[in-house]
Homo-oligomer: A and B are copies of this chain.
Amino acid sequence: MPLGERNGDKESRYCGVETDFSNDMPQLLEFNIKGGFDFVLATLVDPAYRPSLESINDLRSGALPVAGSDLVLSPAQWSSHVVGKLSSWIDLDSDDEILRRDSEICLKQEVAWASHLSLQACLLPVPKGQSCANYSRCVNQILQSSNNMQLWLRIPLRKREDDDLDDPSLGGDPIDSWETWNSFRLLCEHNSQLSVALDVLGSLPSTNSLGRWIGEPVRAAIIHTNSFLSNARGHPCLSKRHQKLLTQFFNHSVQVVISGGLAHSVPVSALESANSNASNDVNSDLGHPLRTYLYYIGYLYQKMDPLPEQELYELSYRDFLQSPLQPLMDNLEAQTYETFEKDTAKYLQYQRAVSKALLDRIPDEKASSVTSVLMVVGAGRGPLVRASLEAAKETGRKLKVFAVEKNPNAVITLHSLVKLERWENIVTIVSSDMRHWDAPEKADILVSELLGSFGDNELSPECLDGAQRFLKPDGISIPSSYTSFFQPITSTKLYNDVKVHKDLAHLETPYVVKLHKVARLAPCQPVFTFVHPDNSPSKDNQRYTKLKFDIPGDTGSTLVHGFAGYFDAILYKDVHLGIEPTMATPNMFSWFPIFFPLRTPVCVRPDNPLEVHVWRCSGSTKVWYEWCVASPSPSPIHNSQGRSYWVGL
């Protein structure tokens, strides 16, 4: 019985329960499903079993002492309702050689059995102690073999902060369990079938360190009943920070699993009420000892705010890599124009900018006498022409508009638009590339929308430099400037999607992508700025910037898979437009961020600044970026000479 209905959630609507070993699987499953849980985390093999205790013959003849076979439950039941839990005694890095060999044999036997049952996923026991190289190696061997079952590595969500070094509960565990996960997955080469199941404990580490997990393939959050608090009425509930974490998990398709026994004694009466609040199907799930915990999780799920309209629209784009458009080289299609024209928030900003510019340029007393020349360079199907005319109307200024467009198909549409709107006397359509057009007169205002997700990446600088010829010396360019931004991120999903192509080119190409399963490790920093008109003697659109990111100390170590790129543009004076998270224009959907991958993820330890270098280079026929990490450990120079990615001039 899923926690509730909500658009866009895949796994996260489901809640499972961890169970003890039982060799009556049908009964175990029925009891828990009736109890309202969607699946069980069930031990597959008798915990008492040890290969080394069996005599050779037994091993040959005898069968594995399993919880239940594919005859007591159908493969369909197994795969839809059971996540297989491997023996938790397994310790592949023990100094005890016999235990180590037993562990290796069992790990392989149990995984083989699980895939025979066609389970969708198995839970791997928590790595014991610091080193897990041999454990990783065995799991890696399993991952190498074609089997497509998911393996969830169980990791306790803990990090020893400087101020609780003496906390005994953290005992001999590694200072930071994320590091255990990190070495494990590095040893397994980021295999996409390897993911994480987090044990959520009573106390949570710092918010920054928790943030790292959003960039990791976390499939399940296992919450132990004694991690719950009791509310006034004795009901289990979670601390504010736990609630916040869970909401984040729900939003990132992480399933919840409840573990442990009843730790809160709840008066029956109270139960009924709680029950009827939270559950629409009362009778079926009376009797399950953990139902109050399930209700509470369902309650948290249901009280989440619904996804805003735009988010819903963008769901299918989450973490989906797209190659950036090349509007200069290629001609956009009608469909593309239409989509972007719908972005009213964006064109409203343009209208505001043009209005302000007109008011600054033409005092009221001259409003009726003077006609300003406004040129839309890259007019497409006309949205900026419309916005400009709106601005003229709203300010009562007179306009003469040139609509310059290089795409002959868009020009046809422009002509019919002008006829349709009766703009013949105001708007002149020019079918030409702004870089070569020989203008009949000079413009007061130059309006363009040539910006890409990274600002200059669709060659706005080169185009506007070309158009500047026909802007009056005191003329205005809208936008008047734009700046790109860089931010280091962790995103196992994006890195794997790039890596899957097994070639250099994809690892050196920036992708437009709606970032979702991403940990943002430090505040954005500005990269390149371009100003228009550019009156410097030697125009040069090549750029070089060195950035130093300080990742907050309490985050712990992090793995940087690459950089998120954004832009912000000043259209005119205080009217701006952009996607840089801290100042993004609301309800604007024309741009997703851009992702610059790293060929090899870079591990950054606390208090080690991350030094990054970015170049904008240009040749006679193309413009491209190069980037590298210089510190803590130097990466190769990415995309040298634009060998993998470039934008055609």
Contacts and interface: CB of A to CB of B under 8 A. Distances in A.
Interface of A: 100, 131, 133-134, 136-137, 140-141, 144-145, 182-183, 186-189, 544, 546, 600, 603, 611, 613, 615, 626, 628, 630, 633-637, 640-641, 643
A637 B588 CA distance: 45
13 contacts: A136-B628, A137-B613, A140-B640, A141-B640, A141-B641, A144-B641, A144-B643, A186-B634, A186-B635, A187-B628, A600-B600, A603-B633, A633-B633
10 closest A-B pairs (Cβ-Cβ)? A186-B634, A183-B634, A133-B613, A189-B636, A133-B630, A140-B637, A144-B640, A137-B637, A144-B641, A187-B634
A131 B630 contact: yes
Contacts of A643: 144
A641 B140 CA distance: 9
Contact of A636 (B145, B186, B613): B186
B137 A636 contact: no
Interface centre among A189, A600, A637 (most CB of B within 10 A): A637
Interface centre among A100, A544, A626 (most CB of B within 10 A): A544
A413 to B, nearest CB: 42
Contacts of A144: 640-641, 643
Contacts of A546: 131, 133
A613 B613 CA distance: 35
A105 to B, nearest CB: 12
A182 B134 CA distance: 31
Contacts of A626: 137
Contacts of A603: 633
A80 to B, nearest CB: 31
B186 A134 contact: no
Nearest to A630: B133
Nearest to A633: B603
A182 B632 CA distance: 13
A546 B132 CA distance: 11
Prevailing SS type, chain A contact patch? mixed
Interface centre among A188, A640, A643 (most CB of B within 10 A): A640
A478 B149 CA distance: 48
Contacts of A636: 186-189
Nearest to A95: B546
A556 to B, nearest CB: 15
A500 to B, nearest CB: 15
A607 to B, nearest CB: 14
Contacts of A635: 186-187
Nearest to A188: B637
A182 B631 CA distance: 12
Contacts of A611: 131
Contact of A637 (B136, B600, B615): B136
Given A133-B546, A187-B630, 19 more contacts: A100-B544, A131-B546, A133-B634, A134-B544, A134-B615, A137-B626, A137-B640, A140-B637, A140-B640, A141-B640, A144-B641, A145-B641, A182-B634, A183-B630, A183-B634, A187-B635, A187-B636, A189-B636, A633-B633
A569 to B, nearest CB: 24
A336 B207 CA distance: 66
A351 to B, nearest CB: 38
Given A189-B636, A634-B187, A628 B131 contact: no
Nearest to A626: B137
A133 B546 CA distance: 9
A643 B141 CA distance: 10
A141 to B, nearest CB: 6
B131 A637 contact: no
B131 A615 contact: no
A171 to B, nearest CB: 21
A238 to B, nearest CB: 34
Contacts of A634: 133, 182-183, 186-187
A628 to B, nearest CB: 6
Contacts of A613: 133-134, 137
A360 to B, nearest CB: 33
A188 B131 CA distance: 33
A134 B614 CA distance: 9
Contact of A628 (B133, B141, B637): B133
A508 to B, nearest CB: 12
A615 B136 CA distance: 12
A416 to B, nearest CB: 47
A133 B629 CA distance: 9
Nearest to A137: B637
A442 B166 CA distance: 65
Contacts of A186: 633-636
Contacts of A641: 141, 144-145
Contacts of A628: 133, 136-137, 187
A603 B603 CA distance: 13
A552 B615 CA distance: 39
A611 B131 CA distance: 10
A145 B641 CA distance: 9
A31 to B, nearest CB: 41
A515 to B, nearest CB: 26
